[in-house]
Amino acid sequence: MNRVDRRWCAREGKPRAALRAAIMAIAKLCARNAMRARFPQRGGILRAMHTPIPHRSARAFAARAVALALLAPISATPCAASAADDPPQSQPAAPERATTSVFVAGEGGYPFYRIPAATRLATGPRAGRILAFAEGRGTLADNGVNDIVLRTSDDAGATWGPVRTLSDIAGRSLNNPCVVEVREGPRAGRVLVMFQSYAEGCGEACVTEGFEAKPDAADGKDTICRTLLIHSDDGGDTWSAPREVTREVKRPVRATSLASGPGVGIQLARGAHKGRVVMPFNEGPYDRWRVYAAFSDDGGDSWRIGEPAPDDARGVANEVQMFERADGAVVLNARQFGGAKRRKAAVSTDGGATFSTLADVADLPDPSCMAGLLALDDGTVVFTGCDSESRRALGTVWISRDGGGSWPEKVLVEPQGFAYSVPVDLGRGADGRREVGVLYEGAGYRRIEFVRVALPSAPPAAAAPVR
């Protein structure tokens, strides 16, 4: 989560940018008034753990409608593709696809939604259920009246249950949901969701190191970015109250902001650290981020942190995802800032305690945007991101069959706007091919959508040389 995320396009002309700024200012004002009408006791938030609170006042409804109407003309077709924006690429045509809107701006009780996270359950009576999380926002600003929300699907993403508010804390901005299912060990069947809690009005560039707010803070705000954890033991039907784990996942010095993922965590399935739950993290200060792993060997009851991956002097890494390679190594893949417009990667051979020096991934372009990562049980690794160096567009699924060493295959899934994304494993389709679902931000942040993608079959192994 960073201030640059508020822009959909990296390249906007001055007249367009000025118009957009004016419209966004009006939209934010309308949305803020809507939230105050929704929560009159503080101009903020009530606590609600299981069900969303609908907009009931005419003023809130009108404000929301005005905000969406003003935004529609600009964001309906975000940054149309231009041959001058990116170097020539070999990009397959987008196949026919079945897309479902999961979170829609103005529906389900929130003017906006951002920052998707998702997993498909593999254990328990709800096995097969997809859990889709997001931030329910009052405006598009990263820091604001943001809640953690959930929708579920029991038919592989064809239909979805209602928007449910899982965590809603007065005066706090809740950000960066990151989910993992514990599939073995004493907590098997438990679903963990980590996220951050900022004081409203004190975002990533405002927070400080340490664990306690400075007593002389000018406006009395809590200047500590706090990390919270909730869990479900019944497949997402009910959820625990938030538990603070800041002291377990944050360094006492230097670290200011934190971000879990966003996206997914993993549980290691092999090697010396089999059963370990690993959550990907980045830490501030702003513009000087570092990436690392937080991990638990008791199913999420307690946490420790590893060392940050050393920088490679070519930019820095920020929002990060991880997967377990077939040999038990943990591979991270991160968003880059100030670098070569390529994803950053590093490898850990000790369960996330330390990582190799960050290096650019030549096959994966990055316009500086969060992206998704998923290892399948047949050794295939899937990456979802933008096939562009400059625009959040051209949403693509890349496939690696050598543990992330190379990414020679790709499938275009969204030719227009495409920002944050997360893939989920859907098993095999009727034709026997592996399928993944991709939950992604589209339409100028007006929708978070879900699309099913059939992966190409593995190419046949090369024939042995004739002797």
pLDDT over 90 (residue 71): no
Q: CA angle, 140 as apex, 138 and 143 as ends, to 5°?
A: 75
Return the half-sphere exposure (C-beta side, CA atoms, 13 A cut-off) of residue 85. Answer: 18
Give Cα separations from 296 to 193, 248, 274 (angstroms): 13, 10, 11
Distance CA 89, CA 115 (A): 28
Higher pLDDT, 33 or 73: 33
Least confident of 62-71, 166-175, 375-384: 62-71
C-alpha count within 13 angstroms, C-beta hemisphere, residue 115: 30
Report the C-alpha gap between 43 and 128 in whole angstroms: 39
Q: For residue 97, what pLDDT is reported?
A: 67
Most confident stretch, 37-51, 91-105, 428-442: 428-442
Residue 266 has pLDDT above 80, yes or no: yes
| pLDDT at 467 exceeding the cut of 90 | no
Highest mean pLDDT among 33-47, 82-96, 362-376 belongs to 362-376
**CATH code assigned at 155:** 2.120.10.10
**pLDDT value for 459:** 75
Q: Give the Cα separation of 441 and 87 in Å (integer).
A: 24
Kindly indicate the confidence band of residue 143, based on its pLDDT and cuts at 50, 70 and 90.
very high
pLDDT above 90: percentage of residues in the chain: 73
460, part of any domain: no
- 459 in any annotated domain: no
Q: Distance between CA atoms of 391 and 407, rounded to whole angstroms? A: 20
Rounded CA-CA distance 163/148 in Å is 10
Other beta carbons less than 10 A from residue 464's beta carbon: 6
Q: At what angle do helices 58-75 and 14-38 cross, to 10 degrees?
A: 160
Amino acid 348: pLDDT = 98
Q: What is the pLDDT of residues 269-324, one digit of tens each?
A: 999 999 999 999 999 999 999 999 999 999 999 999 999 999 998 899 999 999 99
* Segment holding 29, helix H or strand E: helix 14-38
Q: Which tens digit of pLDDT belongs to each residue from 314-330?
A: 899 999 999 999 999 99
* Amino acid 219: pLDDT: 67
Q: According to the model, what pLDDT value does residue 32 have? A: 45
Question: 113: Cβ–Cβ under 8 A, 6 or more apart, which residues?
Answer: 103, 104, 105, 134, 135, 136, 137, 149, 448
The answer to whether the beta carbons of residues 352 and 275 sit under 8 Å apart is: no
Kindly state whether residue 467 falls inside one of the protein's structural domains.
no
Burial 153-169 (b: 16+ CB within 10 A, else e): beebbeebeebbbbbbb
d(CA 366, CA 260): 20
Q: Which two tokens stand for residue 185?
A: 């060990």
Q: Does residue 402 form part of some domain?
A: yes
Within-domain flag for 463: no
**pLDDT score recorded for residue 29:** 45
Confidence of residue 112 (pLDDT cuts 50, 70, 90): very high
Burial class from Cβ neighbours inside 10 Å (0-12, 13-18, 19+) for residue 272 reads exposed
Q: Provide the pLDDT confidence category of residue 98 given band limits of 50, 70 and 90.
A: confident
Does residue 48 carry a pLDDT above 70?
no
Cis check for the bond before 262: say yes or no (omega within 30 of 0). Answer: yes
Is residue 308 in some structural domain? Answer: yes
The radius of gyration of the chain from alpha carbons, rounded to an integer in Å, stands at 21
Instruction: List, in order, residues 6 or more apart from 277 with CB less than 8 Å away.
Output: 180, 182, 192, 265, 266, 267, 268, 295, 296, 297, 299, 300
More confident call, 404 vs 10 = 404
pLDDT at 267 over 70: yes
Res 27 pLDDT > 80: no
| pLDDT tens digits, one per residue of 352-404 | 999 999 999 999 999 999 999 999 998 999 999 999 999 999 999 999 999 99
What total number of domains does the chain contain? Answer: 1
Question: Which alpha helices (H) appear in 54-118, and where do they start and end?
Answer: 58-75
Average pLDDT over residues 233-252: 98
Q: Please give the mean pLDDT across all residues of the chain.
A: 84
Q: Decide if 142 is inside a domain.
A: yes
Strands 130-137 and 147-153 turn out to be antiparallel
427 found inside a domain: yes
What's the domain range around 349?
3-454
